[in-house]
């Protein structure tokens, strides 16, 4: 199955010179040839370019946002009126479990990966990530895992144990279908994607920075991403253990959660939340990073206390490990543990508060421009603060004992997740769209999108505080008409959910009209926002090699400092260069000999072998062996393949340097 490709160097070789001396790909590899310069869809599927991978992460994640959103709409429809008949109790259980799983693992996390993949190398002035093929592997593994989890809908019903899947409730005895099996193995697969991605990005941040960029000159978004990747490296293995214990209990009869055998039901809870609490910071810190980029640009001021924001991000990441048991106050931990975790939880509010203050002071006295990106960033500050405040009330353990498992909790985490994570991501969409696609999203549709989302989310989740404090239990699949309060507020919540959905629809419409529009005004100028960081120091969208010349960094906000300087006589900030001039300067010094990593089949092969193993675990153990064999073969192929294609990978082989020299001499 040799794939015929054109040589990159188009030097016509006269018959008889050089060519026969070269080895053909068959001889060189003994296997099929490498996709050196694929076209069309193959250009995307076999790519190792961090920008294409970032875009694909984003597209797939957005599809799952819609899936998770539809699941949420079904939940809200069921609860719109008393005695809802939209879903049965079993379906309801599956719906909220899969809604949460989809939103957390298949939307927010991969969407953060999309931003991280695309922008981290650009922000640190690198040509790609440290391990481009591992990057491709991460993408396809995530896609494989995401599809795997959702296949359960068609193969006997989704998982139904709630997103934290407490065992023993999730063991075979209480959840006999295959839903939980798909869930456990699917998350295992997406976990591999997160782990490899995390290692890759940390090495990238640490090792691939442009000359002169010390850690404290790194853009704040990259900082937050780095903190998140450290959290992932240490949190993923813990959930891996938990998922293995669950799978082994269900598949092979392990006794881990069998209370009759003396098992401790708290084992799962501890393992899950040791992962789970860092996980909530994994969800929200990338968005913090995004708004920390957006606010300074649209306030025309540097980020207030950059170092504080960076360090408090790291502090949140660190303290985040010490608070897991605040999810378990009601489980009988004992008074001392409850006290300790309660204190730790209140402590974590401090670095979070520091951030909110920093953002506010960034805007203070700035020349604010209320673009959609800015509105979403401000929206995040407000909504996240509300969520943070209700969060502090759970930190007080006696208060939490009253609130736990009520809609008050549901309200809290939607304020922090929707108002925090999602608003940040949307801010990022509007801010970076011109960078990625070279087109500006429409501001009018953008504002409609923003306002509908803000109103929608407050209508949906605001009333949940009230019904929650009145005792409406979480995960309740219906209620009867006697409860007047519940009827009123639940109806409002459902209306709110539709407003929210309308807001998201505006975003989709915005994307479609922006990309359909023939109006030249949608084409983004080089520096549409008068931005500050390195990713704007290249064309929109950037070329495959990112920068014609790798910039040398002297300042935090390097791009800003190249454009502006203080006039010493008047003490005013004056523009000294335009973005176009800076680009021209770069092009004048363009590096000639750039070797980019080449596309490869192997990441895809290895990724696709994993769900085969998954089916094996669930249906037939023979498939485990088949899948493992494919994995090992894939890894062999991978490890023997150099990152950058050699000349003999081309068909016909590209002429060697010597041959070219001879010819051009």
Query: In whole angstroms, how close is the CB of 239 to another protein at the nearest point?
Result: 9
Stretch that binds ligand HEM, among 363-371, 470-478, 552-560, 611-619 (CB under 6 A): 470-478
320-323 own/partner pairs: CB under 8 Å, 24+ apart = 320/231, 320/277, 320/278, 320/280, 320/281, 320/348, 321/234, 321/274, 321/277, 321/278, 323/277, 323/348
The interaxial angle of helices 266-299 and 306-319, nearest 10 deg, is 170
Site residues for ligand HEM, window 398-417 (CB under 6 A)? 410, 413-414, 417
Q: Token pair of 378, please?
A: 């401000």
Nearer to ligand HEM, 436 or 500 (CB): 500
Q: Token pair of 448, please?
A: 């409609």
Instruction: Based on the shown chain and the rule CB under 6 A, indicate whether residue 112 belongs to the binding site for ligand HEM.
Output: no
Among 196, 287, 472, 490, binds another protein (CB under 8 A): 196
What's the rounded Cα separation, in Å, for the pair 287 and 425? 6
96 contact choice in another protein, ligand HEM, none (CB below 5 to 8 Å, kind-dependent): ligand HEM
Query: In whole angstroms, how close is the CB of 596 to another protein at the nearest point?
Result: 8
Alpha-carbon separation of residue 237 from 131, 205, 272 (angstroms): 21, 22, 11
263 contact choice in another protein, ligand HEM, none (CB below 5 to 8 Å, kind-dependent): another protein
Contact pattern for another protein over residues 234 through 273, marking x by CB under 8 A = xxxxx-xxx-xx--xx--xxxxx-x-xxxxx--x---x--
What's the rounded Cα separation, in Å, for the pair 20 and 11? 15
Stretch that binds another protein, among 400-408, 450-458, 561-569, 641-649 (CB under 8 A): 641-649
Among 101, 188, 540, 586, binds another protein (CB under 8 A): 188
Alpha-carbon separation of residue 264 from 115, 162, 167, 342 (angstroms): 40, 19, 10, 23
Instruction: Based on the shown chain and the rule CB under 6 A, indicate whether residue 492 belongs to the binding site for ligand HEM.
Output: no
Nearer to another protein, 94 or 196 (CB): 196
Q: What is the DSSP secondary structure assignment for residue 572, as one 8-state letter?
A: E
Instruction: Based on the shown chain and the rule CB under 6 A, indicate whether residue 421 belongs to the binding site for ligand HEM.
Output: yes
What's the rounded Cα separation, in Å, for the pair 352 and 424? 15
Nearer to another protein, 121 or 157 (CB): 121
Query: In whole angstroms, how close is the CB of 283 to another protein at the nearest point?
Result: 19
Nearer to another protein, 246 or 416 (CB): 246
Q: Closest Cα partner for 97 from 21, 175, 36?
A: 175
Instruction: Based on the shown chain and the rule CB under 8 A, indicate whether residue 648 belongs to the binding site for another protein.
Output: no
Stretch that binds ligand HEM, among 99-107, 300-308, 346-354, 617-625 (CB under 6 A): 99-107
Query: In whole angstroms, how close is the CB of 502 to another protein at the nearest point?
Result: 40
Among 108, 492, 506, 617, binds ligand HEM (CB under 6 A): 108
Instruction: Based on the shown chain and the rule CB under 6 A, indicate whether residue 130 belongs to the binding site for ligand HEM.
Output: no
Q: Closest Cα partner for 230 from 318, 291, 309?
A: 318
Among 35, 58, 158, 191, binds another protein (CB under 8 A): 191
Instruction: Based on the shown chain and the rule CB under 6 A, indicate whether residue 99 belongs to the binding site for ligand HEM.
Output: yes
Instruction: Based on the shown chain and the rule CB under 6 A, indicate whether residue 422 belongs to the binding site for ligand HEM.
Output: yes
What's the rounded Cα separation, in Å, for the pair 413 and 432? 27
What's the rounded Cα separation, in Å, for the pair 374 and 390? 25
Q: Token pair of 221, please?
A: 């978004």
497 contact choice in ligand HEM, another protein, none (CB below 5 to 8 Å, kind-dependent): ligand HEM
Instruction: Based on the shown chain and the rule CB under 8 A, indicate whether residue 551 belongs to the binding site for another protein.
Output: no
Among 555, 577, 636, 662, binds another protein (CB under 8 A): 636
Alpha-carbon separation of residue 120 from 117, 138, 393, 547 (angstroms): 6, 16, 36, 14
Nearer to ligand HEM, 281 or 418 (CB): 418
Question: In 80-131, which residue ranges form alpha helices assigned H by DSSP?
Answer: 89-101, 109-123
Among 22, 55, 56, 75, binds ligand HEM (CB under 6 A): 75
Nearer to ligand HEM, 112 or 124 (CB): 112
Alpha-carbon separation of residue 135 from 128, 432, 525, 641 (angstroms): 10, 21, 30, 16
Nearer to another protein, 263 or 338 (CB): 263
Got the DSSP string for 202-243? Answer: HHHHHH-PPTT--GGGS-HHHHHHHHHHHHHHHHHHHHHHHH
Contact 653, 24 (CB under 8 A): yes
Q: Token pair of 203, please?
A: 């090495």
Query: In whole angstroms, how close is the CB of 44 to another protein at the nearest point?
Result: 19
Instruction: Based on the shown chain and the rule CB under 8 A, indicate whether residue 220 belongs to the binding site for another protein.
Output: no
Q: Token pair of 524, please?
A: 């983004």
Instruction: Based on the shown chain and the rule CB under 8 A, indicate whether residue 322 belongs to the binding site for another protein.
Output: no
Q: Token pair of 61, please?
A: 């994640």
Residue 276 burial by CB count (10 A; 0-12/13-18/19+): exposed, middle or buried? buried
Secondary structure tally for the chain: helices H, strands E? 22, 2
Site residues for ligand HEM, window 131-160 (CB under 6 A)? none
Q: Catalog residues that contact another protein under the rule CB under 8 A.
A: 126-128, 130-134, 137, 188, 191-192, 195-196, 198-200, 202-203, 206-209, 213, 233-238, 240-242, 244-245, 248-249, 252-256, 258, 260-264, 267, 271, 595-597, 606, 610, 628, 631-632, 635-636, 638-644
Q: Catalog residues that contact ligand HEM under the rule CB under 6 A.
A: 69, 72, 75-76, 96-97, 99-100, 103-104, 108, 162-163, 410, 413-414, 417-418, 421-422, 460, 474-476, 497, 500
């Amino acid at each position: 199955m040799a794939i015929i490709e054109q040589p990159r160097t188009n030097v016509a070789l006269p018959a008889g010179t050089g060519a026969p001396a070269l080895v053909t790909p068959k001889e060189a590899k003994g296997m099929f040839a490498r996709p050196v310069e694929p076209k069309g869809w193959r250009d995307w599927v076999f790519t190792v370019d961090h920008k294409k991978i970032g875009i694909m992460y984003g597209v797939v994640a957005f599809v799952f946002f819609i899936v998770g959103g539809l699941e949420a709409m079904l939940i809200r429809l069921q609860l719109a009126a008393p005695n809802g008949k939209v879903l049965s109790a079993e379906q309801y259980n599956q719906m909220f479990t899969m809604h949460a799983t989809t939103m957390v693992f298949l939307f927010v996390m991969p969407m953060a990966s999309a931003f991280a993949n695309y922008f981290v190398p650009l922000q640190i002035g690198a040509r790609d990530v440290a391990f481009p093929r591992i990057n491709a592997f991460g993408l396809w593994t995530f896609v494989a895992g995401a599809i795997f989890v959702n296949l359960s809908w068609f193969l006997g019903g989704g998982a139904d144990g709630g997103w934290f899947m407490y065992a023993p409730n999730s063991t075979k005895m209480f959840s006999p279908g295959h839903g939980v099996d798909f869930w456990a193995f699917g998350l295992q697969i997406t976990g591999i994607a997160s782990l490899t991605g995390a290692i890759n990005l940390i090495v990238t941040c640490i090792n691939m920075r442009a000359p002169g960029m010390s850690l404290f000159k790194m853009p704040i978004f990259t900082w937050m991403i780095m903190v998140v990747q450290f959290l992932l490296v240490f949190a993923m293995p813990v959930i891996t253990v938990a998922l293995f214990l669950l799978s082994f209990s269900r598949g092979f009869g392990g006794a881990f959660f069998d209370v009759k055998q003396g098992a401790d039901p708290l084992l799962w809870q501890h393992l899950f939340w040791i992962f789970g609490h860092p996980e909530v910071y994994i969800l929200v810190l990338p968005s913090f990073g995004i708004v920390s980029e957006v606010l300074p640009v649209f306030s025309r001021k540097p980020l207030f206390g950059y170092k504080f924001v960076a360090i408090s991000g790291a502090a949140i990441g660190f303290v985040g490990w010490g608070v897991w048991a605040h999810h378990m106050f009601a489980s009988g931990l004992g008074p001392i543990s409850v006290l300790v975790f309660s204190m730790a939880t209140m402590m974590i509010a401090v670095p979070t508060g520091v951030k909110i203050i920093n953002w506010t002071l960034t805007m203070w006295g700035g020349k604010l421009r209320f673009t959609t990106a800015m509105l979403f960033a401000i929206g995040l500050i407000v909504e996240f603060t509300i969520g943070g405040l209700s969060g502090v009330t759970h930190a007080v353990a006696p208060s939490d004992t009253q609130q736990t498992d009520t809609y008050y909790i549901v309200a809290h985490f939607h304020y922090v997740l929707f108002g925090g994570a999602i608003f940040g991501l949307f801010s990022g969409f509007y801010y970076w769209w011109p960078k990625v696609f070279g087109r500006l999203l429409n501001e009018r549709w953008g504002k409609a999108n923003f306002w509908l989302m803000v109103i929608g989310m407050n209508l949906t989740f605001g009333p949940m505080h009230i019904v929650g404090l009145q005792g409406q239990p979480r995960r309740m699949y219906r209620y009867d008409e006697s409860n007047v309060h519940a009827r009123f507020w639940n109806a409002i919540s459902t209306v709110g959910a539709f407003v929210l959905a309308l807001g998201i629809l505006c975003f989709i419409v915005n994307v479609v009209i922006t990309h359909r529009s023939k109006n030249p005004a949608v084409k983004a100028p080089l520096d549409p926002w008068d931005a500050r960081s390195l990713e704007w120091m290249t064309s929109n969208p950037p070329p495959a090699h990112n920068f014609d010349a790798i910039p040398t960094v002297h300042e935090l906000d390097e791009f800003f400092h190249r454009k502006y300087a203080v006039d010493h006589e008047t003490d005013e900030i004056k523009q000294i260069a335009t973005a176009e001039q800076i680009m021209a300067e770069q092009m004048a010094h363009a590096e000639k000999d750039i070797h980019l990593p080449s596309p490869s089949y192997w990441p895809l092969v290895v990724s696709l072998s994993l769900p085969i193993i998954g089916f094996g675990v669930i249906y037939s153990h023979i498939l485990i062996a088949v899948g493992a064999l494919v994995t090992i073969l894939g890894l062999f192929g991978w490890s023997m393949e150099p990152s950058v294609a050699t000349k003999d990978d081309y068909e016909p082989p590209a002429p060697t340097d010597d041959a070219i020299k001879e010819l051009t001499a």
